[in-house]
Amino acid sequence: MSKGYGCLIKLHISVRCLYHRRMKCRNCQYSLVEKAPYCAYCGQSTADLNRPFLSVVKEAMHELLDIDNKLWLTLKTLIIKPGELTKEFSQGKRAKYTPPLRLYLVISIVFFILFTGIYEISGNSQNKSAPVGDYYAKAMFVLFPVFALLVQLFFKKSFYIYNLVFSMHIHSFTYLCLILIAPLEAFERTYPMLIILQPPLAIYLAWYIFTAFKSVFDLTWPSTIMKASAIYLIYMAVLGIVFDAAFAYIV
The pLDDT tens digits of the residues spanning 77-133 come to 999 999 999 999 999 999 899 999 999 999 999 999 888 888 777 665 555 556 767
Which one, of 135, 130, 95, 99, lies nearest residue 116 by Cα?
130
Residues 100 and 8 in one domain: no
Residues 104 and 32 in one domain: no
Residues 100 and 14 in one domain: no
Residues 6+ apart with CB under 8 A from 92: none
* Range with lowest mean pLDDT among 25-29, 157-161, 205-209: 25-29
Residues 37 and 70 in one domain: no
Residues 101 and 151 in one domain: yes
pLDDT confidence of 35, banded at 50, 70, 90?
low
Residues 102 and 41 in one domain: no
pLDDT confidence of 27, banded at 50, 70, 90?
confident
- Residue 37 per-residue DSSP state: S
Q: Are 175 and 108 in contact (CB under 8 A)?
A: yes
What is the total count of domains within the chain?
A: 2
How many residues make up the chain in this entry? Answer: 251
Which one, of 121, 128, 135, lies nearest residue 251 by Cα?
128
What whole-number distance in Å separates Cα of residue 44 and Cα of residue 212?
38
Assign 92 to helix, strand or coil.
Answer: coil
- Residue 24 per-residue DSSP state: B
| Residue 147 resides in a domain | yes
| pLDDT above 80 (res 6) | no
Residues 6 and 76 in one domain: no
Q: Residue 251 CB: number of other CB atoms within 10 A?
A: 10
Residues spanned by the domain of 16: 2-46
| Residue 51 resides in a domain | no
What per-residue confidence (pLDDT) applies to 30? 80
Residues 6+ apart with CB under 8 A from 117: none
What whole-number distance in Å separates Cα of residue 241 and Cα of residue 163?
23
Residues 80 and 40 in one domain: no
Determine phi and psi for 31, rounding to 5 degrees: -65, 135
| Residue 53 resides in a domain | no
Residues 32 and 92 in one domain: no
| Residue 116 resides in a domain | yes
What per-residue confidence (pLDDT) applies to 19? 45
**pTM of the full structure:** 0.76
**Which comes out higher in pLDDT, residue 21 or 248?**
248
| Residue 26 resides in a domain | yes
Residues 144 and 106 in one domain: yes
What per-residue confidence (pLDDT) applies to 123? 61
Compute CA distances 245 → 115, 214, 234, whole Å. Answer: 18, 33, 17
Q: What is the mean pLDDT of residues 152-156?
A: 96
**Which comes out higher in pLDDT, residue 152 or 26?**
152
